[in-house]
Amino acid sequence: MGGVLVDLDIEDCKRAFKEDLGYYRIDEIIDPCHQKGIYGDLEEGLISPEEFRNAVLDESRQGALPEDVDKAMWHILVGIEPYKADLLKRLSESYELYMLSNNNGICLPRSREIFADAGVPLDDIFRKCYFSFEMKALKPSEAFYKAVMEDIGLAKEDMLFIDDSQKNVDGALAAGLPAVFYRPGSDLGELLDKVLEGDC
């Protein structure tokens, strides 16, 4: 989801945590692809959103509220470029689309709003979504990929995984799932055209 379809702004998220909450440990736990510490625990489903909020508020300035934590986290989510929404619509006419995302119970509601606003509601455009906090596993773990592949039930040669983290792509390939790397900011449609035509 993030980095491939939804543009991310890590620095603005860090700014919001520091300026709006007075929480300065955000640099230690947030990363473009692989979150750490309590953020990683949240995305792996090891702690609840409430536990995450409380942990952040324990080290934030007095008067900060749980909803302030959510708003700060949402700063990481920028939006979907219109051409990507159109691309998803076209792809869904010929392919079964699935979402596989390291995500959490705080950012997911906002993500759903972003997809809906772009005209591609998650539950309409994707046959099924697999979120790390629900699966209790994080990309690039082999268990995550294999569980998804088994649930989808297609032959591996009929699947393609796209990610903006080379580490996640390598993990998918190691698990037997065909995968390609997408560089954020590049043309996703152009990449897919090359892959589906067999050029890479």
Query: Domain boundaries in the chain?
Result: 6-77, 81-196
Contact 3, 165 (CB under 8 A): yes
The alpha-carbon radius of gyration of the chain (Å, integer) is: 17
Number of H helices, E strands in the chain: 12, 6
Per-residue pLDDT tens for 92-136?
Answer: 999 999 999 999 999 999 999 999 999 999 999 999 999 999 999
Is the domain covering 6-77 a CATH 1.10.150.570 domain?
Answer: no
Q: Identify whether the C-beta of residue 82 lies closer than 8 Å to the C-beta of residue 5.
A: no
For residue 200, pLDDT over 60 is answered with no
Q: pLDDT tens digits, residue range 30-66?
A: 987 678 999 999 999 999 999 999 999 999 999 999 9
Between the CA of residue 54 and those of 82, 102, 145, 187, what are the distances in Å? Answer: 36, 21, 31, 40
81-196: CATH superfamily: HAD superfamily/HAD-like (3.40.50.1000)
Q: Which helix (H) or strand (E) is 129 found in, with range?
A: strand 128-131
Greater confidence (178 vs 31) lies with: 178
Count, residues in the chain: 200
pLDDT for res 113: 97
pTM of the model: 0.92
Per-residue pLDDT band at 199 (split at 50, 70, 90): low
